[in-house]
């Protein structure tokens, strides 16, 4: 089977991975994005929320932002493999290359690359609850598509997502809505908007079968317990982690030479679209510096 060669393999086509690929392309390199979904944009594809935090995007919501990302990356003619997974990843010390096997349904292809960038993102924590029509896990499209009108709703969690989704759900006029948080970590503007009596802070009990919180039955339980890293190369490389998130240095290098990790798969101080895209740029520039330093050294040697 003929192997394709790329300068950099990017695993994950969210904002971090696409930003890295875009910069690498403009820096003169040939990256490959491998994306498990059928679209680029990552979790932004599931987001109905405004992106007013992103400069110059005029409050595009997540879905509209994803459409722009897909259009731009495809327009740059960057190589992409959609609906694919990495089934084998190994570093060949003799050749100095990563050897990759990619599967799409029953089709298998092989490739090599000099560097690997992990940008596979995160998945919402379940807290041990099983997702259903009555138990919604994480923010995004499930919240957007659900009907909360006239229903009793419990939100579990004390972070920004819990408090932001309180406002989103409240617009649908639920019968009642309460936030149950062991600790409140959300930013002040979000907390300030909560109605008096709708916030319960401290320990609480969950009846997972009867859908009860502190003995009270709710029509819908919304779980906002944060995120865990989706480290898809853990079967191949034992990267150092912190609380399950991939540990990196300032240049987004991991504990394995030539493997980078960017975006929310790392333990970012403030994970969001903008910091994820910045991670992609930092990794791309460091890869350029490392490749160019070898090229310069070789050219200087040739000139002497």
Q: What is the mean pLDDT of residues 176-203?
A: 96
Tokens of 82: 């959609």
- Give the pLDDT confidence score for residue 144 in this predicted structure: 85
d(CA 50, CA 63): 9
Share of the chain above pLDDT 90, in %: 81
Q: State which of 173, 195, 223 marks the end of a domain.
A: 223
For the ranges 101-105, 135-139, 206-210, 279-283, the one whose mean pLDDT is highest: 279-283
Do 237 and 131 fall into the same domain? no
- Give the pLDDT confidence score for residue 2 in this predicted structure: 61
Do 119 and 232 fall into the same domain? yes
Those residues with Cβ within 8 angstroms of residue 56's Cβ, 6 or more apart along the chain or in another chain: none
Q: What is the mean pLDDT of residues 37-46?
A: 92
Q: What is the mean pLDDT of residues 40-61?
A: 83
Those residues with Cβ within 8 angstroms of residue 86's Cβ, 6 or more apart along the chain or in another chain: 11, 34, 100, 101, 102, 232, 233, 236
d(CA 71, CA 55): 19
Check: CB of residue 116 under 8 Å from CB of residue 141. no
- Give the pLDDT confidence score for residue 258 in this predicted structure: 97
Asked if residue 39 has pLDDT above 70, the reply is yes
Asked if residue 229 has pLDDT above 60, the reply is yes
Q: What is the mean pLDDT of residues 38-47?
A: 91
Do 114 and 244 fall into the same domain? yes
- Residue-range definition of the domain harbouring residue 173: 126-223
- Give the pLDDT confidence score for residue 69 in this predicted structure: 95
Q: What is the pLDDT of residues 102-157, one digit of tens each?
A: 999 989 999 999 999 999 999 999 999 999 989 999 988 888 889 999 999 999 99
Do 214 and 133 fall into the same domain? yes
CATH number at residue 209: 3.50.50.60
Asked if residue 256 has pLDDT above 60, the reply is yes
Which pLDDT band holds residue 200 (cuts at 50, 70, 90)? very high
Tell me the pLDDT of the chain averaged across its residues. Answer: 93
d(CA 240, CA 249): 11
d(CA 285, CA 277): 13
Do 242 and 288 fall into the same domain? yes
- Give the pLDDT confidence score for residue 50 in this predicted structure: 79
- Which tops the pLDDT comparison, 271 or 34? 34
- Which tops the pLDDT comparison, 139 or 52? 139
* Phi, psi angles (nearest 5°) of residue 228: -130, 150
- Give the pLDDT confidence score for residue 81 in this predicted structure: 96
| C-alpha torsion 34→40→42→43, nearest 10 | -160
- Give the pLDDT confidence score for residue 271 in this predicted structure: 84
Q: State which of 188, 223, 258 marks the end of a domain.
A: 223
Do 114 and 236 fall into the same domain? yes
Do 236 and 293 fall into the same domain? yes
- Which tops the pLDDT comparison, 281 or 298? 281
Q: What is the pLDDT of residues 150-185, one digit of tens each?
A: 999 999 999 999 999 999 999 999 999 999 999 999
d(CA 14, CA 80): 12
Do 19 and 107 fall into the same domain? yes
- Give the pLDDT confidence score for residue 126 in this predicted structure: 94
| Residue 131 DSSP one-character state | P
d(CA 59, CA 209): 40
Do 104 and 130 fall into the same domain? no
Do 233 and 115 fall into the same domain? yes
- Give the pLDDT confidence score for residue 202 in this predicted structure: 96
The pTM (predicted TM-score) of the whole model is 0.91
Do 100 and 33 fall into the same domain? yes
Do 77 and 198 fall into the same domain? no
Tally of domains in the chain: 2
Q: State which of 168, 198, 223 marks the end of a domain.
A: 223
């Amino acid at each position: 089977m003929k192997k394709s060669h790329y300068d950099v393999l990017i695993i994950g086509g969210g904002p971090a991975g696409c930003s890295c690929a875009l910069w690498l392309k403009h820096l003169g390199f040939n990256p490959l994005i491998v994306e498990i979904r059928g679209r680029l944009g990552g979790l932004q594809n599931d987001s109905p929320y405004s992106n007013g935090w992103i400069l110059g995007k005029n409050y595009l919501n997540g879905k509209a932002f994803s459409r722009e990302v897909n259009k731009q990356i495809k327009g740059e003619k960057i190589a992409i493999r959609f609906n694919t997974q990495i089934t084998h990843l190994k570093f060949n010390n003799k050749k100095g290359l990563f050897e990759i096997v990619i599967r799409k349904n029953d089709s298998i292809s092989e490739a090599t690359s000099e560097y690997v960038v992990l940008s596979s993102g995160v998945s919402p924590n379940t807290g041990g609850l099983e997702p259903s029509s009555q138990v919604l896990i994480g923010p995004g499209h499930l919240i957007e598509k659900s009907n909360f009108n006239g229903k009793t709703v419990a939100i579990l969690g004390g972070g920004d997502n819990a408090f932001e989704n309180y406002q989103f759900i409240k617009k649908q006029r639920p019968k009642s809505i309460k936030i149950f948080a062991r600790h409140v970590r959300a930013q002040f503007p979000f907390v300030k908007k909560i109605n008096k009596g709708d916030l319960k802070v401290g320990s609480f009990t969950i009846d997972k079968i009867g859908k009860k919180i502190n003995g009270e039955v709710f029509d819908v339980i919304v779980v906002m317990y944060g995120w865990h890293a989706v480290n898809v190369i853990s079967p191949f490389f034992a990267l150092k982690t912190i609380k399950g998130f991939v540990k990196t240095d300032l240049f987004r290098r991991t504990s394995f030479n030539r493997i980078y990790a960017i975006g929310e798969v790392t333990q970012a101080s403030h994970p969001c679209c903008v910091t994820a895209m910045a991670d992609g740029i930092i990794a791309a520039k460091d890869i350029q510096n490392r490749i160019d330093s070898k090229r310069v050294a070789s050219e200087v040697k040739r000139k002497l």
